[in-house]
Amino acid sequence: MLKGKFAVLSLAAAALLCLQIAGVDTANSGNVSPCNSSATGPAGVVFACPQGDGDALNVLGLTITVTVLDNVGPGSPIPGIPATDMWLISCNDLLNLCNGSSAITASAATDVNGQSTFTGDIAAGGCDNGGVRVVVQGIVIGAGICADPCVAVKVRSADFNANGTATDAIDFGFFTAGYPVNPAVNDCRDFNNDTKVDVVDFAKYTGHYQHTCS
């Protein structure tokens, strides 16, 4: 249920980019290659809120590093890509990203090595345990065609039904159903990733009462 308002190249178009290697005689084409580029990060769970005041990735030790390379041969670094041209999407398309690509952007422009990081929080509703992918200038890194798995960061929000408002009546009904839960494996209500849904998660949930997409 991804509602971000931006264009992502189709897998077929991304595949063509991967094949546009022969005949290119420039040192750096400036064209982002989904197959040469990569995104890496540790596994974990991050709590998100539509208002953008959830947990920051770097605080949880979940910083995501992206290396952006072009489509020349094995790929040359592309420096200077603006931070706002790099963002995250959910792998299973189950998040409502508030304000589209601005829900979370990179921390800085790419450096001389074509690298940048994602360190902030995600303004989103919904829950996606499938992980996240990086999008650079409309191109999904890896794009599902390069044997490049999703970064294993699960995103869980207090806005369970992804309607843009956290902890409303519908969300409350979802959170309290069967409460407490132990063990809770891949449970969207386990915000701190301790395999339990308990008072700690409830406190985090209530702390974002009626927070909305800004």
Question: Which domains does the chain possess?
Answer: 11-160 (2.60.40.10)
Q: What are phi and psi of 20, to 5 degrees?
A: -85, 65
**Residue 195 and residue 63: Cα distance in Å, rounded?**
22
- What is the reported pLDDT for 207? 95
Distance of CA 97 to the CA centre of its chain: 9
CA–CA distance, 156 with 86 (Å, rounded to integer): 21
Spatial CA neighbour of 190 closest among 165, 160, 164, 169:
160
* pLDDT tens profile 125-161: 999 999 999 999 999 998 777 888 899 999 999 999 9
- Tens of pLDDT, residue by residue over 104-122, are 999 999 999 999 999 999 9
**Model confidence pLDDT, tens digit, residues 34-73:** 999 999 999 999 999 999 999 999 999 999 999 999 999 8
Mean pLDDT to the nearest integer, 89-116: 97
Q: Dihedral of the CA atoms 167, 200, 94, 213 (nearest 10)? A: 40
